Amino acid sequence: MVFDRKTLVIPDKTKFEEKVIVTKGDVVIADRSLVQFGIKTKGRIFVGEHVITDGDLEATNDVRIDIFSTIGGSIISGSNVYLGEKVKVKGKLSLQGDLDVGDSVEIENGFEAKGWINIRSPIPTVIYIFIYLLQLLKMGHSEEIERLLEELEHNDGETIPISESFLFIPNSAIIGVAKSRIDYSLRIGHHCKVIGNYDIKGMITIDEHTNMHGSLTATDDVFCGNNVHIYGNIKTGGDAHIGENAIVEGSITADRILMAKTAVIRGTLLAKHGTSFHTNTETTNEKILRFDSHADVVDEVKELLE
């Protein structure tokens, strides 16, 4: 699976508890993000540069934290841990594998490691690249330099392959208990429980059987799947699509509102270009097939075919 590094992705069956996000796959927190939750997963945790998190980080597999990041709680890993330069851990570090730490790392409550411990002072990758380019210049390999620079520029905007199930928090995101802000889009899987009010400068997609405890604000379209329950308001500059048996406890403000007849809206509807209703075509087709096969049918199917 690939993603564009701009969308907040919350995978299937992820649960937001009071102070921790519980998921099953890999977790990637991009640079300069603020996450006011702890993280618990059966996968790996990757934390970028200048990230601040509250609570514990607990992973069955590796935990990797890049330079200048601050972890507000403890780190628990069932495998290896890699801490970049000047990382701060305000709790305790416990791991079953090897520990690899950079220069000036602070762990306030100590650590326990079952494997090897390696303390390093690494040269940043950019220095390696600079030295390599310098050597190529001395050797007169200008064509090789141009090829390398083009490759670096080309790869900078590419999508990144990742495991099938993952939680991804993009650059400069704020994931808060009361309010969250994302400069791009939001995608939430099915059977999730998400807490917080989300201000999204993009599109919001929520898959079926998910409970959203908070309000949603978006600049683009909002899609709520079947049996989604929103405990708050929806406000969007685009269209609002509300699926079968979905429940919105608040109001909806949108350019257009397109909703199933079985959806329930507790508040008011405000749509600049009107509100329209749609039926469950899949269910209707199934009833027609039953009628054609001389199965027992209800009166509504006979009326439908007349």
* E strand intervals along 152-236: 160-161, 166-169, 174-175, 179-182, 186-188, 193-195, 197-200, 204-206, 211-213, 216-218, 222-224, 229-230, 234-236
pLDDT 10s digits, 136-192: 666 776 676 677 666 666 655 555 455 678 999 999 999 998 999 999 999 999 999
Which pLDDT does position 294 carry in this prediction? 54
Give the whole-number percent of the chain exceeding pLDDT 70. 76
Who contacts 200 (Cβ-Cβ below 8 Å, separation ≥6)? 8, 182, 184, 185, 186, 216, 217, 218, 219, 220
pLDDT higher than threshold 80 for residue 205: yes
pLDDT 10s digits, 103-136: 889 999 998 988 888 776 555 555 666 666 667 6
Q: Residue range 88-110: average pLDDT?
A: 93
Residue with structure tokens 């270009």? 273
pLDDT 10s digits, 226-238: 999 999 999 999 9
Q: Residue range 256-284: average pLDDT?
A: 86
Ramachandran angles phi, psi of 184, nearest 5° = -130, -140
Question: Among the listed ranges 36-40, 99-103, 207-211, 296-300, which one has the minimum average pLDDT value?
Answer: 296-300
